[in-house]
């Protein structure tokens, strides 16, 4: 990767040999990446919680029971007590970072209240925690072949079942990740 190249709005696809328990077989959506570091949300690791559980813990009445079973994801090992809502663009929320013209991430309670009322964004993925890298750390991991990276798509982020996202993300790059060895090769 060239110095200064941002991976914002890209997917990091864990290589089969990545043994870190936090990232084994994960797909991470990069929300922000610059010389200071990177921040992303793991989009394929379902937690044991659903939206009804989360709203109940926050004392938010769920008026929109159709979405109550929506899966909450384990977004990464950092700040696992904090919620992050990755979503399509729509209304402006109290604490939103626009990532692309069509995708944002919000950390404020008002978006959860709107989702509970059935007034939330068209598509969303809710996660607890995030993945973070210090300056240069992600670039070093990419150089060490810990990750594949490629552009994110709305379909992979929001439409595919979580258990299909790892293989589908690699397939979008023309890679059958199941055929890659988990052993590092040396010339």
For 77, other C-beta atoms within 10 Å of its C-beta total 15
% the chain with pLDDT above 90 = 74
Which residue bears the tokens 């921040």? 39
Is the pLDDT confidence value at 71 over 80? Answer: yes
Which residue bears the tokens 């929506």? 70
Domains and CATH numbers, the chain: 10-179 (3.40.1740.10)
Query: Averaged over 64-80, what is the pLDDT?
Result: 86
pLDDT at 4 (0 to 100): 59
| pLDDT class of 3 with cuts at 50, 70, 90 | low
User: Would you say 124 and 112 are in contact if contact means Cβ atoms under 8 Å apart?
Assistant: no
Is the pLDDT confidence value at 186 over 80? Answer: no
């Amino acid at each position: 990767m060239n110095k200064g190249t941002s991976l914002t709005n890209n997917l990091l696809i864990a290589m089969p040999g990545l043994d870190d328990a936090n990232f084994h077989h994960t797909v991470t959506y990069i929300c922000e990446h610059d010389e200071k570091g990177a921040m992303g949300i793991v989009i394929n690791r379902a937690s044991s919680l659903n939206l009804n559980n989360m709203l109940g813990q926050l004392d938010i009445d769920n008026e929109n029971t159709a979405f109550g079973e929506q899966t909450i994801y384990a977004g990464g090992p950092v700040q696992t007590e904090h919620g992050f809502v990755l979503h399509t663009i729509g209304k402006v929320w109290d604490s939103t970072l626009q990532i692309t013209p069509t995708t944002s991430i919000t950390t404020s309670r008002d978006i959860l209240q709107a989702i509970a009322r059935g007034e939330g964004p068209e598509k969303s993925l809710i996660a607890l925690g995030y993945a973070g890298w210090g300056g240069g750390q992600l670039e070093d991991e990419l150089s060490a072949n810990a990750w594949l990276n490629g552009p994110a798509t709305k379909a992979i982020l929001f439409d595919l079942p979580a258990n299909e996202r790892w293989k589908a993300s690699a397939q979008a790059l023309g890679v059958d990740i199941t055929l890659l060895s988990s052993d590092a090769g040396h010339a």
